[in-house]
Amino acid sequence: MTTNDIPLPFILKVAIPAVPFFKLFEYLAPEDCPSENLQAGIRLEVPFGKRSKIAFLIAISTESEYPIEKLKPITRIIDDAPLLGCCDLKLLHWVANYYHHPIGEVMSTAFPVALRQGKDTIIKKLPKISDNKTKTSPLICNDAQQQAIDAISATLGEFNVFVLDGVTGSGKTEVYMQLIQTVLNRGQQILVLVPEITLTPQLQQRFEQRFSTHIAISHSKITDLQRKNAWLLMQSGVCSLLLGTRSALFTPLPNIGLIILDEEHDSSFKQQEGFRFSARDVAVMRGKLASVPVVLGSATPSLESLYNVKLQRYQHLQLPERAGNALPPLVQILDIRQQKLQEGLSAKLVEEIAVTLAKNEQVLLFLNRRGFAPTLICDGCGWVARCVHCDANLVIHRHKNLLRCHHCGTEHQLVSICPACQSNDLTSLGLGTERLESVLTHLFPDKVVLRLDRDSTQKKGALDDFLAQIHAGDAHIILGTQLLAKGHHFPSVTLVAILDVDSGLFSTDFHSGEKLAQLIVQVSGRAGREQKQGKVLLQTRQPDHSLLVELLRDGYTKFAVLALAEREMAGLPPFSYQALLRAHAENEDMPIMFLQTVVELAQSLNVQNVQILGAIPAPMARRAGQYRFQLLFQHTNRTALHTLLKQLVPQISTLKLAAKVRWSIDVDPVDLY
């Protein structure tokens, strides 16, 4: 027998979920296993240490980095057919590379828990299709809508990114729905992503009223079983329409035809812990790999997307006017300098609220701070209620009679006597939504005040109940946090006010101007969405601030041009690329020593012109008992930055000090905290 006759062993390269290892693990195929049973994308059971684990077959090779005799055979093959297609595998590879994240952890994000545990792939339940008794017909589009639909439809089957830049209420959803119908008619699948779970019910309802097809829903608040079911419905091709949040992004769609991301500017599309991917950017890559168009919709597109428009990488489609007969809201600055405020409300605002309520119209007040007040201070000795674990004050929660840390969750009973000097002169400083609620109830005793924030909507179904109450006209004044800013449709709201614009004007994060402008436009967009014109009041002590003046005078599009010019001058993203290495530990010295070692390591790798800033304390240097430090890598060239990270990150994981801290790498960070 010649050596040529000895069959070469199959080496199976696998990813093991939740194992933080940058390379693939290698195993041997079972002897005499036919190669057609070993397709990339199937699940396997493999021995791992003393236990066994479920693994995903990523590639098959006849070569190994290790001596063959060291490799162990797998225990069993789980699936007859691959769960992932070739595009899905390519995408997961790409994200693991781009975010410098262990492939096994990427797999954990892509798969529902039950499948990661090796459970069966039987579809348990089909979503119901609502009766054809009740379907809405497509609306007759205006010219701008029609142009957008035509431009996108013309490129089905090709990769293209469209920024659907439409003012609030301009009928973007109608554009999505007509495109979805076209793609359904072609027998293809559609992925629709929204930034917030709270936005899925209203879109689901509009879709159900329009389409005669199963709609799969996927987000982090459904059960593991529901998520698995939605995943399999799409993966098997039984369902054609998937609506979800960023966790739905990796669901396999063998027959994908279109990707839509609504509210693309929203930073919730960026995962802020663990595997820190941007669902927007990955969706674009997914569209590219699958050769399908990607629609990024927003009334306030991100500066990144507008920059891509400028570079002609993305196509700009504008819907400059509200659809139907709705008028744009009147936005006014309310100068509150030298005014006595009643719990954050100026006399003029109280008067406007009264006038609106007298017309039986609804009022919406925006304040981005939960709780009663952010600070409890002693007038006698100056003692302030601080969190012992964080660099932060404890927030007063009157309803629950608690002092609570919003960063680590620590709670104490609310005190009425100063623990330092025993005086009973304790004062609540500042304004939170609970306090605003109580003053409004006092000022308008015969009106229903509804507070919508994370505290009041914690109970399952609470938010839906609130939204139903608003729609039914049973609530008169709605106040809340950023939960309110997102794409909700409140037809009877005609007065909107932002109580504390100034807190957004003086942040150190370079994203803050963009975020404030988006917030103002988005919150304003909740006013007067149907027949009655809306009014928006911005309370500020900075009435001449250029951001406010320019935004109100010229609108968001021009604001964005100026903001981009500022970023360019400062060499900030999107004119440069960043990655943030965070480290924290209980011991203050460890993260500093660790990051300093990383700096030395990075310098030794000799990648030119990468700026390394730090190690510096995180903006909140102590949180939940952990000392937090960070290192920022920045380069004008994305490839150069990634060349460095590609070498650096796997080496960091082998550093002795890496075991003494918790660390993570955040590519394209949106929040420098």
Nearer to ligand ADP, 16 or 180 (CB): 180
Q: Which one, 347 or 381, has the nearer CB to Zn ion?
A: 381
The residue from 163, 390, 485, 641 that contacts Zn ion (CB under 5 A) is 390
Strands (E), 431-517: 449-452, 477-480, 493-498
Residue 327 neighbours by CB distance under 10 Å: 15
- Tell me how far, at minimum, the Cβ of 314 lies from ligand ADP, in Å: 18
Q: 3-state DSSP call for residue 592?
A: helix
When binding is defined by CB under 5 A, the residue of 57, 148, 296, 405 that contacts Zn ion is 405
Least distance to ligand ADP from the beta carbon of 190, Å?
16
CB of 370 to Zn ion, least distance (A): 15
Contact residues: ligand ADP, CB under 6 A:
139-142, 145, 166, 168-174, 323-324, 489
Residue with tokens 């006849």: 62
Least gap, CB of 498 to Zn ion (angstroms): 28
Nearest-CA neighbor of 59 among 9, 14, 23, 116?
Answer: 14
Which of 141, 256, 387, 657 binds Zn ion (CB under 5 A)? It is: 387
The nearest distance, CB 414 to Zn ion, in angstroms, is 15
- Nearest to Zn ion of 127, 371 (CB atom): 371
Give 410 or 651: the residue with its C-beta nearer to Zn ion.
Answer: 410
Please state, as a whole number, how many other Cβ atoms lie within 10 Å of the Cβ of residue 209.
12
389 belongs to the binding site for Zn ion (CB under 5 A):
yes
| Sign of the four-CA dihedral 121, 234, 252, 87 | positive
Q: How far is the CB of 173 from ligand ADP (least distance, A)?
A: 3
Minimum CB distance to ligand ADP, residue 329 (Å): 13
386 touches Zn ion (CB under 5 A):
no
Q: Which one, 139 or 238, has the nearer CB to ligand ADP?
A: 139
**Which residue, among 471, 467, 473, has the nearest Cα to 448 in the 3D structure?**
473
CA angle 368, 318, 256 (to 5 degrees): 90
The whole-angstrom separation of Cα 453 and Cα 563 is: 30
Q: Burial of 646 by CB count in 10 Å (0-12 exposed, 13-18 middle, 19+ buried)?
A: middle
Identify what 141 binds: Zn ion, ligand ADP, none; CB under 5 to 8 Å per kind. ligand ADP
Residue at 135: amino acid letter: K
The CB-of-382 to Zn ion minimum distance in angstroms stands at: 7
**Element spanning 622, H or E:** strand 611-623
Q: What residue number has its CB nearest to ligand ADP?
A: 171
Which of Zn ion, ligand ADP, none does residue 329 bind (CB under 5 to 8 Å by kind)?
none
- Asked if 228 and 214 count as a contact pair (C-beta separation under 8 A), the reply is no
Rg (CA), the chain: 27
Closer by beta carbon to ligand ADP, 170 or else 457: 170
Contact (Cβ atoms closer than 8 angstroms) between residue 244 and residue 215: no
Residue 418 partner contact from ligand ADP, Zn ion, none using kind-dependent CB cut-offs of 5 to 8 Å:
Zn ion
Beta-carbon contacts of 88 under 8 Å, excluding residues fewer than 6 positions away, are: 41, 110, 250, 252
Q: Considering only the stretches 78-86, 121-129, 373-381, 484-492, report the one whose residues sit in contact with Zn ion under the rule CB under 5 A.
A: 373-381
CB of 140 to ligand ADP, least distance (A): 6
Nearer to ligand ADP, 397 or 526 (CB): 526
What angle separates helix 103-110 from helix 86-98, to the nearest 10 degrees?
130
Residue 312 burial class via C-beta count within 10 angstroms: exposed 0-12, middle 13-18, buried 19 and up: exposed
Decide whether 75 or 142 has the Cβ nearer to ligand ADP.
Answer: 142
CB-nearer residue toward ligand ADP: 209 or 342: 209
Q: Smaller CB distance to ligand ADP: residue 447 or 471?
A: 471
CA torsion, ordered 110, 115, 121, 124, to nearest 10 deg: -90
Q: Cβ of residue 136: shortest distance to ligand ADP, in angstroms?
A: 9
Extended beta strands in 330-397, E state: 330-335, 362-366, 375-378, 395-397
Nearer to Zn ion, 396 or 538 (CB): 396
- How far is the C-alpha of 546 from the C-alpha of 559, rounded, in Å? 10
With respect to ligand ADP, which residue has the nearer C-beta, 325 or 401?
325
Among Zn ion, ligand ADP, none, the one that 385 touches (CB under a kind-dependent 5 to 8 A) is: none
Does 316 participate in binding Zn ion (rule CB under 5 A)? no
Residue pair 60/34 in contact (Cβ under 8 Å)? The answer is no
Shortest gap between Cβ of 245 and ligand ADP (angstroms)?
Answer: 17
Residue 71 has a CB neighbour count (10 Å cut-off) of 16
Closest separation in Å from C-beta 206 to ligand ADP: 8
Q: How far is the CB of 559 from ligand ADP (least distance, A)?
A: 19
Q: Which stretch binds Zn ion (CB under 5 A): 260-268, 416-424, 539-547, 572-580?
A: 416-424
- The number of residues that bind Zn ion (CB under 5 A) is 15
Minimum distance between the CB of residue 305 and ligand ADP, rounded to whole angstroms? Answer: 16
CA distance 348 to 540: 13
Strand order in the sheet with 25-28: 25-28, 11-15, 51-61, 43-48, 76-77
390 binds, among ligand ADP, Zn ion, none (CB under 5 to 8 A by kind): Zn ion
Q: Which stretch binds Zn ion (CB under 5 A): 107-115, 124-132, 189-197, 390-398?
A: 390-398
405 interface partner picked from ligand ADP, Zn ion, none, CB below 5 to 8 A per type: Zn ion
What lies within 8 Å, CB to CB, of 352 at 6+ separation is 495, 497, 535, 537
Q: State the binding partner of 142 from Zn ion, ligand ADP, none, CB within 5 to 8 A by kind.
A: ligand ADP
By CB under 5 A, is residue 400 in contact with Zn ion? no
Q: Which stretch binds Zn ion (CB under 5 A): 418-426, 449-457, 465-473, 500-508?
A: 418-426
* Calpha distance 324→530 (Å, rounded): 8
418 binds Zn ion (CB under 5 A): yes
Q: What is the DSSP letter of 384?
A: B
Q: Which does 492 bind (CB under 5 to 8 A by kind): ligand ADP, Zn ion, none?
A: none
Q: Which is nearer to ligand ADP, 57 or 523 (CB)?
A: 523
CB 581 within 8 A of CB 655: no
Query: Which sign, positive or negative, has the C-alpha torsion 34, 36, 40, 42?
Result: negative
Q: Closer CB to ligand ADP, residue 6 or residue 140?
A: 140
- Packing angle, helices 462-471 and 200-210, rounded to 10: 60
Q: How far is the CB of 168 from ligand ADP (least distance, A)?
A: 5
From the list Zn ion, ligand ADP, none, partner contacted by residue 294 (C-beta under 5 to 8 A by kind): none
SS3 137: coil
Site for Zn ion contains 383 (CB under 5 A):
yes
Q: Identify which of residues 216 and 403 has a Cβ nearer to Zn ion in the complex.
A: 403
Which positions touch Zn ion (CB under 5 A)?
A: 378, 380-381, 383, 387, 389-390, 405, 407-408, 410, 418, 420-421, 423
